[in-house]
Structure 1
Amino acid sequence: MYKISTSEKKILVDTLTPVSIYLKIRDKYSNSLLLESSDYGVNDNSYAYICFNPIAEIYIENNFIIKSLPDGSKEKIEINKNVNVVNEIDKFFKLFKCKKNDKKFINNGVFGYMNYDSVKHFEDIDLNSKENDIEIPEIYYAFYSNIIVINAFNNQAILFHHSFSKPTNLEVIFDYINSNNSTKYPFLKSGNLNSNMNDQEFIDLVKKGIKHCDRGDVFQIVLSRRFFQKFKGDEFNLYRALRSVNPSPYLFYFDYGSYKIFGSSPEAQLVVKDNKAEIHPIAGTFIRTGDDEKDAIKAKKLSEDIKENSEHMMLVDLARNDLSRNGNNVKVEKDREIQFYSHVIHLVSKVTAIKKNNSSTFQIAADTFPAGTLSGAPKHRAMQLISEYENCNRSFYGGAIGFMDFEGNFNHAIIIRSFLSKNHELIFQAGAGVVSKSSPENELQEIYNKLGALNKALEMAEKI
């Protein structure tokens, strides 16, 4: 076990923003990350996090679990039928002994992601490996020495330094934050937008999904399409544009050096706070018009739409089943609430459970992964069909990204409305929920509706 000492420093940041602070930090520290929320009016969501200087990490790559520890040691475990991946991740979390957190926000723990294909480590399912797979770790979590927590509610920030053996660096960080230096570069698209299939090929894919729904193999299947855009310059400008055109509860920019994952997700994968687990299924989508009165009429139509409501309730039932595996007292606390986003209107519910005493938080995360809104129902069969029919592994798309502290609190977004950047290429993806009554042309349009904010951000980023 590693005993971690923590020092902290409170500062006033009324003339700064999370973005401006991050720009200063990233110039000094590679592999840094930014996690924000547009729900700053709600006190619980008024915190932004900037993390850098990792002192320990765990990741899965090429069928190995690799653990890098604060004393410089490494452990490499080959995954086979005798290795329980969830247990190995839990063991990593338990290696660190930190001072109990007495704050309302997270100030220790791990930040990172798990991609969609990592479900094969949690469930007995085979996913077909495709030749054009994106080469990034399937799971990556790091314990960061430095965390800056910014409270947008009162314009204060707390600088944290977690250390196994090194002296505090808070004064150095304070000087960086107060410096006038931060480097900005332009962003430019290069070449045309490409996709892994054309419109007709996606329509044909949807027709296959409808046949499986008609046969009773699945009630719903979420089929997706990938897009590619080459670029030059700084993709952080694209993140800045995206957070402007599509403000969302989850805004994130995770820089891993050779690749970056960033986005503006409306949907939580899983939230666990004080042993209470929550899933917020989002399913049922209408496009916004830009006119508030017309949008109100469309919202009423959405709430009464038989197809959209039946699709939504399937996913609520799936969330209840997933939470019941390691949770008690499962209930639906909110049922099909209308919520407005920048380009779409969604139906949103809230399903909760109390974590069982002998269950770990990460086990619940594994139980509920991936989100039913990204796979379909029944989940296992839907994922098999997705693997059979989609011509590329999903990788980051449909995964989960966020944090988990050492006391079992967990908050991850589903990686949707998001980009992966690697080798000067942006990769992004969107899916449509297919049921028996689906119209292939309407499901194609849903793809473009969901990509509306991303395409608008691509245009705006070139003007920053």
Structure 2
Amino acid sequence: MLPSLAHPISRPIAIADPQAALAALAPLPHPFLLHSALEGEGARWSFFGADPFAIDRGERYEEAAAAWRRIARRFPTEAAPATSAPFTGGMVGYWAYDFGRRLERIPAVARDDLGLPDFVLGLYDVVGAFDHAASRAYLFSSGLPLAGAAGRERAEARLDDFTRRLESAEKTLAAGPRSGVRAVSTFTPDDYRRAVEKVKDHIRRGDIFQANLSQRWTVELPRGAVPGAMAWALEAALARRSQAPYAGFFDACDHAVACASPERFLTLRGRTVTTRPIKGTRPRGADPAQDRALRDALRASEKDRAENVMIVDVLRNDLGRVCEAGSVETPVLCELESFPQVHHLTSTVTGTLRPGLDALDLLHAAFPGGSITGAPKIRAMEILDALEPVRRHIYTGSLGYLDWRGDAEWNIAIRTALVTPRAVHFAAGGGITADSDAEAEYQETLHKAEGVRVALADLLGPVALEPAALHAR
């Protein structure tokens, strides 16, 4: 049996901000940044890293999960000394929405036009943490996958190498063409409105209560574009524009993800589980009076409140599969939160994870999130797969971390862009209920896409959202 691991060694480091850390680590394989751009305890920490000692994708999920569990079983569970950082090393990456096909039997109707893996997960022995409350940064190094004296030697060498990189970095971002681009949707406006009506038909027949319908836009990139560099620049632009609490960047080499999500999917601290679904949206107003009116209208909307409550019920059911009986509660229901582009209604559901289960068991019970599928979840997913022309991939999947000590945090990957060597893809959607107006639902997707569209415009020049002329099945 392998010996138990000691705490990772750590040291404070001098960096200006998490974006500067990402600039330093960008030349290494598989850099990541999990970034909080808001104030408050819930957005206190940002995390960064690169060069994992293992990376798994596609068909190797069981191997990736087993590797994390094998190490986690012999890792100290108490907090590391000198800092309360909840993440000091472990698994980082994404689960695409389509990973849900492994967990539930969903007919394959929507086209898999990207052909990308449904997860990419790295095991990171060196992780940095930026404490926004104290404006301090720390670097942690475990020496994994080695142990004992060899592990200690590796941990110290890696800590020295990363420290040199981080403390000598210059913050530079890749520049793109500035002439302006077209972002072409998978839907025409009429097609989207018809899809809304089809969802409403299913609701009238009693198949579902609601479903989260979405459309995707694609921006073609010039030949030779580097996904990681483009996504890095886009994440920085999103951070400036959107100030999201669950933003992130992850470089999977042949594709990369940039995200400015306002929504927490799952947090696990010890055995305490928290999820914060978003349902209900209004755009920000052009002036304070209009903004206040839109905010008040969202608070007063029976349709949006009912939509939120239905999804809270879905998540209570999902958490109930793995939490102690009677522990699942809803301490906050339909709280209004405001972001740079939109207002949202947010609820909070909590529970206590049953003994003997871990964060991966929790993820499997709740994935994909109820707020971006519908109610009942599985039937809603089946209907969405038949109505949306292409698979979602990272959109409405999850990006986040799983610490060796068992704590975890994952977002819902909305306000998110997927970058490949040929294109940038981004999507937006909304919950359809019996009371939905098809035109209003279509416009809501445009409001939600605005954050990514404006960030892309910072890099590429004006970005015009255009409908599909014709989409093929």
TM over 0.5: yes
Structure 1 residue 66, shift from structure 2 partner: 6.6
Alpha-carbon separation, structure 2, partners of 1:58 and 1:180: 29
Match of 2:391 in 1: 393
1:118 aligns with 2:99: yes
Match of 2:283 in 1: 287
Match of 1:72 in 2: none
Q: Choose the corresponding residue for 2:175, options 186, 192, 196.
A: 186
Shifted more, 221-230 versus 288-297: the winner is 288-297
1:7 aligns with 2:9: yes
Match of 1:80 in 2: none
Match of 1:76 in 2: none
Figure out how many residues of one structure are paired with residues of the other and give that number: 437
Q: Choose the corresponding residue for 2:233, options 234, 237, 243.
A: 237
After TM superposition, the structure 1 = structure 2 runs for residues 24-173 of structure 1, keeping only pairs within 5 Å, are: 24-27=24-27, 29-39=28-38, 41-61=39-59, 64-65=60-61, 67=63, 89=65, 92-96=68-72, 97-100=74-77, 101-102=79-80, 103-105=83-85, 106-123=87-104, 125-128=105-108, 130-163=110-143, 164=146, 165=151, 167=154, 168=156, 169-173=158-162
1:177 aligns with 2:166: yes
Q: Would the alpha carbon gap of residues 437 and 43 (structure 1) be closer, same or farther in structure 2, given more than 3 Å must change? A: closer
Match of 1:79 in 2: none
Report the TM-score when normalising by structure 1.
0.89
Alpha-carbon separation, structure 1, partners of 2:389 and 2:448: 20
- Tell me the secondary structure at the aligned position of residue 310 of structure 1: helix
Contact 1:58-1:66 within 8 A present in 2 as well: no
What amino acid maps onto 1:315 in structure 2?
A: I
Alpha-carbon separation, structure 2, partners of 1:132 and 1:360: 31
Structure 1 residue 404, shift from structure 2 partner: 1.1
What amino acid maps onto 1:173 in structure 2?
A: F
1:312 aligns with 2:308: yes
Report the TM-score when normalising by structure 2.
0.87
Contact 1:188-1:231 within 8 A present in 2 as well: no
Contact 2:394-2:418 within 8 A present in 1 as well: yes
Contact 2:97-2:395 within 8 A present in 1 as well: yes
Tell me how large the CA RMSD over aligned residues is. Answer: 2.1
Contact 1:119-1:369 within 8 A present in 2 as well: yes
Structure 1 residue 262, shift from structure 2 partner: 1.1
Alpha-carbon separation, structure 1, partners of 2:233 and 2:168: 21
Contact 2:29-2:52 within 8 A present in 1 as well: no
Alpha-carbon separation, structure 2, partners of 1:2 and 1:113: 29
Deviations 1:109-128 (A, max 9, x none): 211111111112223x1231
- Tell me the secondary structure at the aligned position of residue 174 of structure 2: coil
Match of 1:403 in 2: 401
Structure 1 residue 19, shift from structure 2 partner: 0.8
Structure 1 residue 159, shift from structure 2 partner: 1.4
After TM superposition, the structure 1 = structure 2 runs for residues 439-454 of structure 1, keeping only pairs within 5 Å, are: 439-454=437-452
Deviations 1:216-245 (A, max 9, x none): 111001111110002345422222111111
Alpha-carbon separation, structure 1, partners of 2:294 and 2:111: 42
Match of 1:77 in 2: none
Alpha-carbon separation, structure 2, partners of 1:352 and 1:192: 42
- Tell me the secondary structure at the aligned position of residue 142 of structure 2: strand
Unaligned stretches of 5+ residues in structure 2: 462-473
Q: If each structure's strand is expressed as a fraction of its own residues, which one has the higher value? A: 1
- Tell me the secondary structure at the aligned position of residue 137 of structure 2: strand
Unaligned stretches of 5+ residues in structure 1: 69-88
Match of 2:422 in 1: 424
Alpha-carbon separation, structure 2, partners of 1:379 and 1:421: 28
What amino acid maps onto 1:227 in structure 2?
A: W
Match of 2:413 in 1: 415
Match of 1:338 in 2: 336
Structure 1 residue 182, shift from structure 2 partner: 5.2
Q: Would the alpha carbon gap of residues 25 and 401 (structure 1) be closer, same or farther in structure 2, given more than 3 Å must change? A: same
- Tell me the secondary structure at the aligned position of residue 307 of structure 2: helix
Match of 2:250 in 1: 254
Contact 2:234-2:258 within 8 A present in 1 as well: no
What amino acid maps onto 1:45 in structure 2?
A: A
